[in-house]
Amino acid sequence: MSLNNLNWLAILVSTIALIFLGSVWFSPKALYPIWWKAMNRTPEEVPGGSVGMGIVFGSTFVAAFIQVLTLSVVIHSLAKAPSVAIGIGAGFTVGIGFAAATSVSHRLFGGQGFKVWLLESAPDLINLMVVGAIIGAWN
């Protein structure tokens, strides 16, 4: 499998979709207030702390691109003819096996509990399944 075989337009669209879906999930009118409170943060505290929002959003975009690229490689390694079903299955597997499973101990050791873990892992799982569907459909 070569990186030349990947559909780079699908990867770009999927990266944008991942950012969009995450911004909807964590919007002030959706689950952001619940997540922020579960993290024991006050409304006065600024997300990202002293790092700065430019670095937060830039890093988020790079991380989303890496997730999508990795999932695309996984999908293309699994199937000669990727499909929506294969993409969703791969997204689910990667979401459960890596995103959700690896972050649970971080949240628990950090004292943030299962609620924070669930609020963060659920969109990762959903987003990776959506991204998998896009990648599978475009190949």
Over the chain, what is the mean pLDDT?
92
Q: How far, in Å, CA of 74 to CA of 102, rounded?
A: 18
Residue 69 near residue 7, CB atoms below 8 Å = no
DSSP assigned state of 46? P
State the Cα angle at 135 between 131 and 139, rounded to 5°. Answer: 170
- 69-86 per-position pLDDT tens digit: 999 999 999 888 899 999
Whether the pLDDT of residue 90 is over 90: the answer is: yes
């830039």: which residue's tokens?
A: 58
Whether the pLDDT of residue 53 is over 80: the answer is: yes
Dihedral-angle region of residue 81 (phi above 0 means left; psi in -120 to 50 means alpha; beta otherwise) = beta
pLDDT computed for residue 4 by the predictor: 81
**Chain CA centroid to CA 62, Å:** 11
Q: What tokens appear for 17 in the block?
A: 């979709």
**Chain CA centroid to CA 24, Å:** 12
Residues across the chain: 139
